[in-house]
Structure 1
Amino acid sequence: MRLRPSFIALPVALALGGSSAAAAAPAGSSAPPLGPDSPAKIVAKVALPSAGAAREPGGEAGWQLVWADEFAGSSIDRAKWDFDRDCWGGGNSERQCYTDRPANAAVAGGLLTITARKERFAGPALPAHMRTAPDKAAERATRDYTSARMVTRGKAAWRYGRIEIRAKLPAGQGTWPAIWMLPEEQAYGAWAASGEIDILEAVNLGVACKECPGGRENTILGTLHFGGQWPKNAFNSTETNAPGVLDGFHTFGIVWAPGRIDWTYDGRVYATKRRGEWWSAASRDPDAPFDRPFHLILNLAVGGGLSEERGVKGVDETIWPQRMQVDWVRVWQCRPVAASGASCKGDR
């Protein structure tokens, strides 16, 4: 989920092949690692792997469950989740105000439901970390949509592990569901110097798409943001077509270890990024900034740069409300055991 100052909306550019592909080569190749002089925007496109053709971390020994929310109660567990409450627009010119109202986020029937609604709403113009001064705290904004952005910030954060979320995504032009992570502390500086891990993003699912299998938008994205503080930031993203993504619930995840992050869809790794495919302006450690604890974020945005620049453009005002439903969130960490067969240490 790209965070940028509200006055800027940068397009997503593709850096495929040529020097960009060479710069992003995995560790162990002859290509140099990425750095400040490398392309700021790299997007690779891959095919989903078939059964047996990719790592399946859920079948490995040694994973220990360390945190979970099964959404089994009748209300959101405030010991696990907090809410962002603002009408900032995420730095992407998104169109919603985020609230903590049950109308926008609620638990029932074993599911968390985040609902984006078309309704006028007023709230703080800036996110909490930007409204510490009295004049900033007093600024208000009014938007035409509401939604929710739930965070584990201050309650749970992890450095390394296997993180999976089983969710059902919304459809329509202007929808932007996201499952992602931000650093618990900005050890290397303000965004994006301290990093961002996007486990899952999708925009405009189900909208007509000539390039997509089946003729409908079914692209999912996994992305890292890093480098320096905006505007000297960079990102490295992988996109894949997931033709069944709108058929119901699917599991989105990452496996994060020192120097390596894998992205999974329904348990299979479809993308991998290694040290050398990201960089830090504030550290010479090749694992930085992805060597510190990160917290989890679940949100459903309305509009914004990524969604409005793709598909048929803009926001379809006739499709609301739209919902992202979450069956469960689970976090494991690797406790390797002496056993035959695959271990959670994987190919490290």
Structure 2
Amino acid sequence: MDYFYWMFDAHCKERNMEVDWFFPNTENHGDYGKLNIISAEDESIESLFLKYLQENDVAYSHIITHFLEICTPFYKEAKQNTGAKIIAVDHNPRPLNGYPIKKKILKRIKGLLYSKYMDVFVGVSRYTINELKRDFGKQISPKCQVIYNGIPLETIKVREKRNMESPKFLVASHLRESKGIQDLIASVAKLSEKVKENLIIDVYGEGPFESRLLQQVKELNVLENFNFKGSSSQLHELFHNYDYLLHPTYMECFSLTLLESLAANVPVVTTAVGGNTEVISNEKNGYIFPAKNVEALKYVLTDLLTGKKSIQTNTRHLVENNFTLDLMVGEYLKLVL
């Protein structure tokens, strides 16, 4: 989201619109120095914002929230204290099997109590909009709008020629259970010795599940097939070194990682969850399999490694036409102009 924040702020300034950014911490890298950041430090963004309103003579015409819980008392207070147009953006994935019944009931009650104080519900995919309506009630439908995430294409190196005979694979993900990398490891362990003989999967990322994954590759005797490379801030320059991205996630809203991979002309093998199927078309720019289905993933890997299947399409074109940062920023500007 960094590039989005920077570009949105710059476009607002070009139109003589001032933006205050309420963040958990002060940021200094990239263009963050150009933003007027008000840092929460040890308190919540919601508490910081409401306190800031009380202590400062400031009038906001629009309030846009990202990554905050939706339909809470905060929105009522923000609306009553400012009269601003409130735009809530939902980036949050849902559990594969949905919320427990108690949480479903609580969300529906919150929708009835607080959705009237919110003017626009933005979902980053059609999936997200459907989940918002399921969470908070169909009364929010007229207020809902999809704005897809976008990425800056100029920073991403492009793979010119795909290797069909011995494809190279990467994973780029936070290492937690919901990303399903344990299923990838299990599927590789099921491959025949001949098929997995020269298979190496580079895994970029860190997280709380890393030690469990490392233990699993040892237990299943596939240590030679996985190379855990840690976190990298230069992934946009690395995707083009590979032929396929493996993304066996259980939960997703709309993944920037998928967009970056496609923009590098690297097809994606992923699950039919969240907004994945809104960007990945099976056997056209990637392969879709059911989440948690180790056998299905094994067959996809086998077909790719034996040359039975391959993607010939230039996957960058879809991103160029539909998921650029310029398009994303333009849609958000329409909400405030």
TM above 0.5, one fold?
Answer: no
More strand by share: 1
More helix by share: 2
Computing the radius of gyration from Cα coordinates, the structure with the larger value is 2
Q: TM-score, normalised by structure 1?
A: 0.28
Q: TM-score, normalised by structure 2?
A: 0.29
